Amino acid sequence: MARYTDKVVLITGAASGIGKASAERIASEGGKIVCVDRQQEAVEKVAAGIIANGGEAIAIACDVTDQEAVNATVAKAVDTYGKLNALCNIAGVLRFDHTLELKMEDFDFVMNVNARGPFMMCQAAIPHLLETKGFIVNMSSTAALGAHAWTLAYSASKGALLSMTKCIAVEYMLQGLNCNAICPGGIETPMVEAAAHHIPEGADARLMTKAMLPDGSFAPPSDVASAVAFLACEDANHITGDHLRLDGGLMT
């Protein structure tokens, strides 16, 4: 029996990159996927692709910074499938700015999507996850462990997400809920492709090498999806409050 047979998994950021790869990977292992993203057309396409391949999925358009929409999304997931076994908070945004030029609205935007959004998702989902002794996987970043230039808001948001992961793990450990984070390095996704074109003016490119493997390579999103699939089910039963660094050895 596939390890996700009869498991319901809600994945945010499922329209693209790591979220899409994770949705497809877990669906291929028998999971019923609630694909969530603010990009309605794209997320519907991902769910349709899963169904076309013989899997089960629904798509929900939701901005994770909108608490009403977040609560309605979790309610719809549970109404549709009767339970929730795992929440994967993968939606996120990246911006590069010189620290001295970072606007408050941009700081708030990044913090809202990357930290406040996953928090609201966890608040809505935890009551259901306690019923199934479920799993939470939060997509943090190597930016939370070390630092990359010009990413003050992003690094702060991913650090906050890592701390939240540990709080949730400790608070609910006796009730059978697992909560872990993944900290990827450079992964080849639309986010990274877009960011590469928005390096701040006058930035010294030598500082970028700190965020890249010596050969300049990026890993495919499927390499992160396999880690998500590991941490969002019973294979990770005795792992909680931890993070998995997934960077090809960059920070070793």
Ligand X SMILES: NC(=O)c1ccc[n+]([C@@H]2O[C@H](COP(=O)([O-])OP(=O)(O)OC[C@H]3O[C@@H](n4cnc5c(N)ncnc54)[C@H](O)[C@@H]3O)[C@@H](O)[C@H]2O)c1
Q: What is the contact surface with ligand X in residues (CB under 6 A)? A: 12-13, 15-19, 37-39, 63-65, 90-94, 113, 117, 139, 141, 184, 186-187, 189-192, 221
Residue 220 token pair: 């495919």
- Would you say 113 or 152 has its CB closer to ligand X? 113
- Give the count of beta carbons closer than 10 Å to the beta carbon of residue 130: 14
**Pairing, β 178-184 against β 135-139:** parallel
Closest to ligand X by CB, 164 or 187: 187
Please answer whether residues 34 and 11 qualify as being in contact, where contact means their C-beta atoms are separated by less than 8 angstroms.
Answer: yes
Measured at the CA of 178, the angle between CA 63 and CA 69, to 5 degrees, comes to 15
CB of 1 to ligand X, least distance (A): 29
- What's the farthest any 2 CA atoms get from each other in the chain? 55
Residue whose pair of structure tokens reads 């699939």 in the numeric block: 229
Nearer to ligand X, 71 or 132 (CB): 71
CA distance 28 to 163: 31
**Which of 12, 165 has the CB closer to ligand X?**
12
Among residues 4, 81, 154, 172, which one is catalytic? 154
Min. distance of Cβ 132 from ligand X in angstroms? 24
* CB of 102 vs ligand X, minimal distance in Å: 17
Rounded to whole angstroms, the Cα distance separating 161 from 92 reads: 11
Min CB(6)–ligand X separation in Å: 27
Q: Three-state DSSP class for 136?
A: strand
Give me the residue label for tokens 């997400």: 161
Which residue lies nearer to ligand X by CB, 130 or 203? 203
Strand-by-strand arrangement of the 178-184 sheet:
56-61, 32-37, 8-12, 86-89, 135-139, 178-184, 243-246
In contact, 85 and 7? CB cutoff 8 Å: yes
Q: In angstroms, give the least distance from the CB of 118 to ligand X.
A: 9
CA atoms within 13 A on the CB side of 223: 15
154 catalytic residue (yes or no): yes
Q: List, by residue number, the catalytic residues.
A: 154
